Structure formats: structure tokens, C-alpha cells
Amino acid sequence: MSEMWPRLRPATNTDCEPVSNLVFTVLGEYGLKPDPGCTDADLKDIEKSYLKRGGVFYVLEEEDGSIIGSYGLYPMQPGTCELRKMYLHRDYRGKGHGRHMLENALAEAKQLGFKRITLETASVLKEALRLYESYGFQPYRPDHLSCRCDQAYALDLTKS
């Protein structure tokens, strides 16, 4: 059986630069500013920021090794993780890859024992908002939002 491409795989620190390039490119397409010193500092050391905290980080990789998508699950308080850095290259949008990444993220979160998943996003990312809402994410008001985000969503994993 031949391998299906693109494929999801766990990220390592060798992916930090290509993931940063992907994230910053997508942000730019939507007029959002990268913040490597704060909001995006987790991309400088994926293993420390995610894996060593008990989370995961996945990349969607094409057959030639190029990184075309990403997502991370960042543990917050006990039982809750935050979906972070879910981005997909422009040429791969609208083909089910975002749905595939989100389904994988939800399955991983449940497997890791999380009961709730939150995320922050920007309203200009309309496709992402529709995707999250189609999976049952509900708007909520966090104590604060990242500088480029104006929306927050949460999903109770015990009900999905």
C-alpha cells in the first residue's frame, strides 16, 4: 500500500523554521502581524513548548518534505488544552486538509485526557471560523486575548 500524501506527522525542532515560515506567510496573507517575540515564541522550540509540557505538535507534510500545515495542542490548566498554530498553506485550502488536521487534533486531545479544548483566532480567518463552528466550538470570553486575536472558542470534549 502506498503512503498517502500529504501526511500528518509529529513535529520536532528540525521543523521550527519551516513551520515559522508557514505561519508567518499565512498571517501575512490575512494582514496579521507575526509576533516572534511573544505570541509566536513557542515556534522557536516546539519540543520544549509543546512536547515537554505534555502536548503535541503536528505538521502536514508533502511528499517532497515541505511543510504545508501545522497544529499544536498546548496544555493549559488541568484538563484543558489550547489549539494553537493551526495553519494551512493557501494551495491546500478547501480540499479537506484543515478538517483532517482538526479531526486529528480532537482525537489527540481526547487521547491525552483533555476534557476541553480552547482556541483564539482572528475574525478575518473566516474559513477557520466556519470549520471550528462546524465541529461544535462555541464562542467564549477569556480573561485576555493574544494581540492579533479577537475571537475565542471552546469545545467540551466530553460531549463530542
**DSSP single-letter state for residue 13:** G
Output the CA angle 117-43-111, nearest 5 degrees: 30
Would you say 116 and 156 are in contact if contact means Cβ atoms under 8 Å apart?
A: yes
119 within 8 A of 85, measured Cβ to Cβ: no
Residue 2 is predicted with a pLDDT of: 54
Look over the chain and give the mean of its residue pLDDT values, rounded to a whole number. Answer: 94
Q: Are 39 and 147 in contact (CB under 8 A)?
A: yes
Tally of CB atoms within 10 A around 33: 11
Written as tens digits, the pLDDT of the chain (160 aa) is 456 889 999 999 999 999 999 999 999 999 999 999 989 999 999 999 999 999 999 999 999 999 999 999 999 999 999 999 999 999 999 999 999 999 999 999 999 999 999 999 999 999 999 999 999 999 999 888 888 899 999 999 998 6
Determine the pLDDT at residue 146.
Answer: 85
Kindly report the number of other CB atoms within 10 A of residue 116's CB atom.
16
Res 1: pLDDT: 47
Class of domain 7-156: alpha beta
DSSP string for residues in 102-114? HHHHHHHHHHTT-
